[in-house]
């Protein structure tokens, strides 16, 4: 089964399953991998899809944007969005810190493993509004946030509270016992 089929087989927004596909995609295309990550959901400014605080093992995803995407009820779009967000932040956890480079890597990896017309590739290339045009309040678009805005969001993230996603990285549980 190829990675596009594996992503399609994941349940709607099944973070663990989708993250497994993300990790496989990065390992296949770049030969890089790491474990021990946690996922949190938090209310963030609408221009921040997610963030990773350098040196931490946390990826924090924008809960509001995710809820808007879930409202579409379209599994392919939901999983593509989650894939895109997790891929981008996973690349940051691997040390790819330059935003423009990370957006380009996200697009290239998505295209290579999922195809040029897959919604995840289109999100990486054009932004979420390209895939969900009726989502008027989703003003997140790759590259639109400045470094200063992103740092402000990271600093503010903890004050809004966070929901921790249980069993996010299940393939690494053997190492935690």
The SS3 assignment for 122 reads: helix
Most confident of 126-130, 141-145, 147-151, 167-171: 126-130
DSSP per-residue string spanning 32-94: ------EEEEE---TT--EEE-TTSSEEEEEHHHHHHHHTT--HHHHHHHHHHHHHHHHHHHT
**15-64: pLDDT as tens digits:** 999 999 999 999 999 999 999 999 999 998 888 889 999 999 999 999 98
User: Which domains, ranges and CATH numbers included, belong to the chain?
Assistant: 3-170 (3.30.2010.10)
pLDDT at position 35: 92
Write down the mean pLDDT value for the chain. Answer: 85
Pairwise CA distance, residues 91 & 41, whole Å: 18
Tell me the pLDDT band of 151, cut-offs 50, 70 and 90: low
């Amino acid at each position: 089964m190829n990675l596009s089929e594996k992503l399609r087989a994941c349940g709607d927004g099944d973070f663990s399953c989708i993250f497994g596909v993300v990790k496989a995609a990065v390992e296949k295309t770049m030969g890089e991998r790491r474990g021990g990550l946690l996922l949190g959901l938090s209310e963030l400014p609408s221009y921040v899809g997610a963030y990773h605080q350098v040196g931490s093992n946390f990826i924090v995803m924008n809960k509001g944007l995710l809820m808007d995407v879930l409202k579409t009820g379209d599994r392919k779009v939901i999983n593509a969005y989650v894939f895109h967000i997790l891929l981008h932040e996973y690349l940051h956890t691997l040390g790819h810190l330059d935003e423009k480079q990370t957006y380009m890597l996200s697009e290239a990896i998505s295209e290579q493993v999922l195809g040029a017309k897959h919604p995840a590739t289109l999100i990486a290339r054009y932004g979420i509004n390209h895939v969900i045009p009726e989502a008027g309040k989703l003003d997140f678009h790759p590259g639109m946030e400045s470094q200063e805005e992103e740092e402000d969001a990271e600093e503010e993230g903890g004050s809004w509270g966070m929901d921790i996603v249980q069993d996010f990285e299940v393939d690494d549980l053997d190492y935690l016992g």
